[in-house]
Structure 1
């Protein structure tokens, strides 16, 4: 069985969903420390032909807290602001009418916990893209939470009966192949090559949120991107 484990990112780039689509079980790694200025609560969309960073405001966020202990600042008007920005930026995109209601549903989801909020969004996008991968939550898996880094990843894999662990290519420096092989787990990495598609008339800007991919591509085309083999 092939397993992947990643921290929850809000509406991440297509590579995140490619990782989900390539495994049997995907674990949302929500019981590790929050990282400020990371991609947990922010990403980029296309605004005026440039990458625009949007952020989900958080309440008392700290790197001393676990991701699943962080709450969204419900007093902020960020939801209306983000939806308005998306609507103005993508209204003329070819798949706006199909995609915008999904994004509106995701952003409007009434949940204060950032981890649960993101997990809902990931599952909703997976439904749209017909990704059938089993999605589990790390904090709900019984394990030794005193373990850190690679050791904790390996234990989760063992608990799930994994024979392969798949990670993004950016994690190559984090893991030792032999440590996984010693536990009868094959460590593999997914390629990081970008996809290209038409974005209005501007020069293509890669690695934007999945929002951008969905606005400019049919679900069938996105599935083809996800299924391209570059392990």
Structure 2
């Protein structure tokens, strides 16, 4: 990290003390926004909280793109299910044409973008793949983007970890960090009110919040910039090098 607090290396932060230096934990989202990917630049280990409850109208199976100059929400349909079903047990709905419809929508939205020919095949491979559950498609989308920009992250799934299923919220995060030997836990700034720094200090963990810089870029169409869209929008309008630069535009704060 430089004097301004920005992370400079082109890969995960390396631990210097034999433990897992930095950890972040998030639900797996479908082609998430830029700030989500900054967590991979800021940490050694990313834990996908795939055993969390699936939240209807959350970001696990949907996101926003720019369509005709305005934000447009696209969705991967989920089979009908009861409440409190976990993300990794949430089944993707049978293909009644929704995959092709989504590809057509994305093509219409970005066919004039400078990196469409390179990025669209990546998106199609994810959307037209055949995972049974939503966690797999979301993770496929994350892996595809990271591979595209040349990153090899260390991603673990919470469902594969030996964590007490009765734990939730902060207690669950602390248990995950404890099992990994985490020295620093990094969370998006929006979750500041969810955590008590003293609890983390008692476990020998430094709690940090990631703040994304003021990232803007030309989106086409001449309209005002629309922030916090899916990473799809960032990839379509920017080179790999610029995308990596955006991913590194953050600070870590107490």
Contact 1:36 1:62 in 2 (8 A): no
- Counterpart for residue 219 of structure 1: 240
Q: Please report how far the alpha carbon of residue 75 of structure 1 lies from its aligned counterpart in structure 2 after TM superposition.
A: 3.5
- Counterpart for residue 28 of structure 1: 48
Instruction: Indicate the SS of the match to 2:63.
Output: strand
1:7 to 13, 18, 27: 27
Any idea what the Cα deviations from partners look like across 1:132-166, whole Å, max 9, x if unmatched?
A: 32011110011111111101100001111100000
Number of aligned residues: 231
Aligned-partner Cα distance in 1 for 2:250–2:93: 40
Q: List gaps (5 residues or longer) in structure 1.
A: none
Q: Does residue 207 in structure 1 map to residue 243 in structure 2?
A: no
Instruction: Indicate the SS of the match to 2:182.
Output: coil
Aligned-partner Cα distance in 2 for 1:74–1:60: 11
Using the size of structure 2 for normalisation, the TM-score is 0.88
Using the size of structure 1 for normalisation, the TM-score is 0.97
Aligned-partner Cα distance in 2 for 1:188–1:62: 35
Aligned-partner Cα distance in 1 for 2:187–2:214: 16
Contact 1:194 1:207 in 2 (8 A): no
Contact 2:50 2:159 in 1 (8 A): yes
Aligned-partner Cα distance in 1 for 2:203–2:142: 30
Q: Please report how far the alpha carbon of residue 199 of structure 1 lies from its aligned counterpart in structure 2 after TM superposition.
A: 0.8
Distance change in 2, residues 1:160/1:97 (3 Å)? same
1:163 to 183, 189, 193: 183
Contact 1:21 1:132 in 2 (8 A): no
Contact 1:18 1:226 in 2 (8 A): yes
Q: Please report how far the alpha carbon of residue 226 of structure 1 lies from its aligned counterpart in structure 2 after TM superposition.
A: 1.0
Q: CA RMSD in A?
A: 1.1
Q: Which moved more, 1:215-224 or 1:189-198?
A: 189-198
